């Protein structure tokens, strides 16, 4: 009986010891409850000690990063009004994790509770921030107009302060996934965008045509200048060549004027006297002297 009593005591001691020691994983936060009231938060992993059950009880929470969409997949898209009075649909997401597990347990208690709180706060803050900016801060063909980074940072910082204070969670990141026009406005917006793009294209084409006309006119002017300059150079070169040729002829013929006269007379005969040509000239004309002398010489040889 003494052995049996000892065994019972040993078993009870082991049970008490087993219910007093617990382990906290790297991916967990733990809160120790004493008679249902939180008394201690445990944020580091390892073996821990508590009062045995039912005095103390341990509640565990996931300390990893959580992601939730705003709006969720089963909710319709939410509309916001920008500073320039444009209705837009915005889809976003936030990343959060538990920072103060005791605060988390006392306020929201679980993931659904904290995400419901964060959803309302994120939507409220998102509406405020977008209402102070134009649509071009979200969508623009000019990179300098885009302010998405500053918008998401402002929403994240404000939500993080409120969530840490109210729920014991930290909003690590906030991002905008998609921006669109409401379905009932998309057709008119797209038509207006197409009309604006056509106007821009027409303006570009007009500017291109004006520039082409200007370039062609400038090219034609340069062409005329080049041709005129080339013609002047050709005429000057031709004139110099003719003057030089005339000077050479004069120098050559000046050495023997009688030979030059004789040569020119023969050239004249060749160009003016041919078969069927009748010329009436006096016999004592100087022009016929060479011809008559050549005729007499020919007659003498024939006799």
Helix (DSSP H) and strand (DSSP E) numbers for the chain: 7, 9
Same domain, yes or no: 57 and 118 = no
Given the structure tokens 């020119």, which residue do they identify? 264
| In-domain check, residue 253 | no
Angle at 114 between CA 109 and CA 118, to 5 degrees: 165
Note the pLDDT tens digit of each residue in 52-100.
777 788 888 988 999 989 887 777 777 888 888 888 888 899 999 999 9
| In-domain check, residue 194 | no
Same domain, yes or no: 47 and 103 = no
Note the pLDDT tens digit of each residue in 144-188.
888 899 999 999 999 999 999 988 999 999 999 888 877 766 666
| In-domain check, residue 189 | no
Candidates 172, 171, 193, 199; CA nearest to 181 is 193
Given the structure tokens 């014991």, which residue do they identify? 168
Q: Give 194-252 as a DSSP string.
A: HHHHHHHHHHHHHHHHHHHHHHHHHHHHHHHHHHHHHHHHHHHHHHHHHHHHHHHHHHH
Same domain, yes or no: 16 and 89 = no
Q: Name the residue range of residue 57's domain.
A: 2-61
Same domain, yes or no: 47 and 99 = no
| Residue 53: half-sphere exposure toward Cβ, Cα within 13 Å | 10
Same domain, yes or no: 45 and 131 = no
Beta strand pairing call for 66-70 and 21-24: unpaired
| In-domain check, residue 233 | no
Note the pLDDT tens digit of each residue in 4-44.
766 666 666 666 655 677 888 888 888 888 887 888 888 88
Residue 245 CA, chain-centre distance (Å), reads 69
Residue 271 CA, chain-centre distance (Å), reads 81
């Amino acid at each position: 009986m003494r052995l049996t009593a000892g065994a019972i005591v040993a078993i009870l001691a082991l049970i008490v010891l087993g219910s007093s020691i617990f382990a906290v994983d790297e991916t967990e936060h733990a809160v120790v409850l004493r008679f249902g009231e939180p008394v201690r938060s445990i944020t580091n992993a390892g073996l821990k000690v508590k009062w045995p059950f039912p005095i103390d009880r341990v509640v565990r929470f996931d300390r990893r990063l959580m992601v939730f969409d705003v709006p969720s997949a089963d909710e319709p898209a939410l509309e916001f009004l920008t500073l320039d009075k444009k209705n837009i649909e915005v889809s976003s997401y936030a990343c959060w994790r538990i920072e103060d597990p005791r605060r988390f347990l006392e306020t929201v208690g679980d993931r659904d509770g904290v995400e419901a709180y964060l959803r309302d706060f994120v939507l409220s803050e998102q509406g405020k921030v977008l209402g102070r900016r134009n649509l071009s801060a979200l969508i623009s063909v000019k990179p300098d107009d885009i302010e998405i980074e500053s918008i998401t940072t402002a929403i994240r910082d404000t939500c993080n302060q409120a969530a840490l204070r109210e729920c014991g969670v930290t909003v690590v990141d906030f991002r905008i996934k998609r921006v669109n026009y409401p379905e009932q406005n998309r057709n008119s917006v797209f038509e207006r965008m197409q009309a604006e793009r056509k106007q821009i294209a027409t303006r570009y084409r007009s500017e291109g045509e004006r520039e082409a006309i200007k370039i062609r006119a400038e090219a034609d002017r340069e062409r005329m200048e080049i041709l005129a300059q080339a013609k002047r150079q050709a005429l000057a070169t031709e004139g110099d060549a003719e003057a030089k040729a005339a000077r050479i002829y004069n120098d050559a013929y000046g050495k023997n004027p009688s030979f030059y006269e004789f040569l020119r007379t023969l050239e004249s005969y060749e160009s003016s006297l041919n078969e069927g040509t009748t010329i009436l000239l006096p016999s004592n004309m100087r022009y016929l002297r060479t011809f008559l002398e050549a005729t007499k010489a020919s007659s003498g040889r024939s006799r």
